[in-house]
Structures are given as C-alpha cells and as structure tokens.
Amino acid sequence: MVCSRFQAEIGVRTALLALTLFVFAWIVLATSWIATGVLVLTAAVAEAVFLARYAARASRETARFLDALTYEDVTQSFAGFSQDGASQDLGKAMARVMAMLRASRSEREEQRRLLQTLLDHMPVALVAIAPDGTVEQLNPAARRLFETPVKTVRDFQPFGEAFAAGIASLKPGDSALVPIERGSGPLHLKIAATEFVTNGSKRRLLSLQNIANELSAQELAAWQTVIRTMAHEVMNSLTPMTSLAATARDLVEEAARDLPADTPSREHLDEAAMALATVAKRSEGLLQFVQSHRRLTHRLTARPERLSVRRVFVRLHSLIAPELEANGIAFTTPVEPETLEVTADAVLLDQALINLLRNALDALRGRPDAKIVLAAQRTPSGQVLITVSDNGPGIAAEQRENIFAPFYTTKREGTGVGLTLVRQIAAVHGASVVLSETPGGGATFKLTF
C-alpha cells in the first residue's frame, strides 16, 4: 500500500516534469517566446528539485528514525510524516514505535526511582567493591555507618584491623560477624557478600547489618529469664523462712519473759531470740533485694515523642544540682545544635540518664577538680549522640566487658541494676549504649539514638 502510493506520487511528478520539459523544447524550437521559455524552464527546474526532495524524504525520515532509536531520543516526532498520503502507513508505524520507546523509557525510569527509594530506605548498608579496590557507598545507610567518605578499600583501615581483614577475606556467598570501630562507638556487624557483573566487570556487593542491638536484646531476654526463675525460687523459699523466723523469735521472746530473771536458761533464750531476730531481718533484706531486682524482668514499653534535648538536660540538672553543689562537682551541658531533638520516651530517657549521672557522681565523690559533662550532638550520619563523661578513676579494662551484666557492680554498695536498666532502655528505643575512656582519664557512656 505504501509502495503503490509512493510510486504513484513519483509517477505523477515525473510525468509533470516530462510535460514541462516537452513544452520548453517546443517553445525553443518552434517559437521565439523567450520570456515564456524562461518561465517554463524555471518551472521545470523547480519540479525537478521538488521531485528529488520528495524521493529522498522517506530515506531522510528513516535515517532520523534510526538515529532516534540508537540514542533513545524520545523527543523526536514523526507526526508530519504520518500525515503524508504516500507515506502515511510508514509514518504511523514510526510514531507507534516512538510511543512504545517513550513508554518503555518511562517504565524504566519509574523502576529506577523505585529501586533508589528502596535503597534509600533500606536499613542495611550496601557497598560495592570494584576489582581495583574502588568502593562505592550505595545507600544512605552505608554513609551513616561509616560516617566519613570511603572511596577505596584502604579507607577501611581506620575502622579497625579486624574489620579491614574481614572485608578483604570475605568471598562471594560467604558471611561473617565482624566488629567495627567508629568515633561514635563500636558496633558488631553481620557482613554478607555476593558478586555481580556490570559493564563487563565483576564487583563484590557487601551488605553490612548492625546486629549489636539484636545481640543486646537476646542477652537481656536470657538474663530476664534467669532472673525471673531465680526470683521465683528464692521468693518461694524466703517467704516462709522469714515468717517462721519471725514467729520463732516471738515465741522465744515470750518464753523468756515468762521465766524469772535469775533462771539460767533465760540468758540462752535471749541469745536465741537475738539470733532469730537476725535471721528474720536478713531474710526480709533478701526479700527486698529480690523484689528490687525483679523489675529487670518487666518488659519495658517505650512511648516515643519528639523531645528537646536542652529541656531534658535542664530538667536533669535541677534534679542533681544539690548533690553537685554539696560535692563541689562542676557540671556542663553542651548541646550542638541548641535546637537538637531526640525521639524517645521522656520518662525512660530521664531514668537512663539519671542512672548514668548517679554513677558519675559516685565516682567523683571526694575528688578535687571533679567534673561531669552531659553533652549531645548530631553525628555526621544523622543520629543523636548523648554522652555522660566524668574525670574520675574510670573503669578498668577487664571490668568493661561485664559492666552491663545484671548484678555486676564495681561499687561496694552497688546493686548491679543501674547499667543493666540503661541498656534495657536503650534496647527498647533501638538505640545503643557503649562505654569508652574519657580523654585525660575517666569514663564516658555514649547513648546513640
């Protein structure tokens, strides 16, 4: 159909050109109409030009169409060509192909945006490592994890020898648990590797997942089970023992009162009454101890809200101001920026920070130039870091591993509950708490939300 229309158009234009040339030849040979001959010749030249342009139009449009396909130029239009009677079908076919190309490109762009959105919101950090050691951080989670730009595998060295070695030795299809050292505190990562090919080059794709919170939650759950079982058994035994000791004491005291003062057994009964009173008092103390520790078995529920960090710090300062003044302890609360906010449960956050401040107060009693710094800042990765630092004696390296375990304490009159509760509060917020040294001496606890 296209060919017949095109051939007919070419035939008509060729016939018209031949007729014009015939008329021109007749005028030149049979007449002396010079002016008319010039006009007829001009018309013949114009017809020849239009005929050549018409014959080449299809090839020009076809070349433009192929260029558009090659470079995926979806801005090209062939509407005019499709309206040409002789090339209408070819023009419409080109227009359909271009419409399909636009739809395909639009679909690919939507898929790309969807994939990018998934990467941006994925909590697992993703990095790609090229054969030459070039590193590409593929999503915001990776940039938050490393906190600083990472461009080559050599940039992994500041995060610890174990981390750099773990990355280097991880083969596609393998996974490993690797620690990472960061300025905002160490983490435990689960790293998995796979391999993909792009532009003919193989690359390793690494996923790095922070499992510190999951490990803390599992450890806390295990401790809660142990404490709950121990508390149940101890309470079952201590309750009747306390009651029996108190009853026996009362009976002995009553029997002693009924005896004359000079009776030889009176003294022994008084000693027995004192012994039973001691047992009863100690049993009551143990009951209170167990009951106070049972709160560790209660499941905390956080009700997060946006809190002004500065207001939280002002509130805490007012609570401990008398103790600070009585012990001559300097106290500062830098917040950067001043408008910094944190999403947390107000009551639980206060409880965690009060426990940490109490520990700092205990560590500084009687020390000259004592100082506590309660600070907050936004990290380069967008997290909120709250620190409680003191310039006390610090915590020995061999004690740090157990510092968050229930019942473990370095204080003579400590219960070993405070820091466990702090870690429990951090866990319900999806936060982390770590201990580090204060530059110049002392201890620093870091809460990262």
Chain segment 236-274, per-residue pLDDT in tens: 555 666 666 677 767 766 766 666 666 666 666 666 767
212-258 and 264-293 helices cross at what angle (nearest 10)? 160
Query: Per the domain annotation, does 96 fall within a domain?
Result: yes
Residue 341: the pLDDT is 92
Same domain, 102 and 132: no
Residues of the chain with pLDDT > 90: what percent? 2
Same domain, 221 and 179: no
Query: Per the domain annotation, does 276 fall within a domain?
Result: yes
pLDDT in tens, 414-431: 455 667 778 878 888 888
Same domain, 201 and 222: no
Same domain, 176 and 230: no
End-of-domain residue from the set 192, 210, 228: 210
Same domain, 161 and 268: no
Query: Per the domain annotation, does 416 fall within a domain?
Result: yes
311, two tokens: 């207001």
Q: From CA 339, how far away is CA 349, in angstroms rounded?
A: 18
Q: From CA 331, how far away is CA 317, in angstroms rounded?
A: 8
**Residues 317 and 333 sit within 8 Å (Cβ to Cβ):** yes
**Residues 187 and 214 sit within 8 Å (Cβ to Cβ):** no
Same domain, 310 and 374: yes
pTM of this prediction?
Answer: 0.47
Same domain, 233 and 271: yes
**Residues 283 and 213 sit within 8 Å (Cβ to Cβ):** no
pLDDT in tens, 178-232: 888 877 667 777 888 888 877 777 888 888 887 665 555 555 555 555 555 555 5
Query: Per the domain annotation, does 298 fall within a domain?
Result: no
Amino acid at 192: A
Domain residues for the domain of 165 are 122-210
Query: Per the domain annotation, does 153 fall within a domain?
Result: yes
End-of-domain residue from the set 259, 293, 327: 293
Number of domains in the chain: 4
372, two tokens: 């506590």
Q: From CA 46, how far away is CA 52, in angstroms rounded?
A: 10
CATH of the domain at 313: 3.30.565.10
CATH of the domain at 148: 3.30.450.20
- Selection from 72, 19, 27, 71 nearest residue 48 by Cα: 19
User: What are the residue ranges of helices labelled H in 137-263?
Assistant: 140-146, 161-169, 212-258
Confidence grade of residue 1 (pLDDT, cut at 50, 70, 90):
very low
Q: In whole angstroms, how far apart are CA 289 and each of 14, 45, 256, 282, 371?
A: 113, 114, 32, 10, 32
Q: From CA 128, how far away is CA 113, in angstroms rounded?
A: 19
Same domain, 347 and 276: no
Same domain, 31 and 166: no
409, two tokens: 């304490």
- Selection from 348, 336, 331 nearest residue 384 by Cα: 336
Same domain, 444 and 316: yes
Same domain, 317 and 442: yes
End-of-domain residue from the set 150, 182, 210: 210
Give the total residue count for the chain: 449
Query: Per the domain annotation, does 283 fall within a domain?
Result: yes
Same domain, 332 and 383: yes
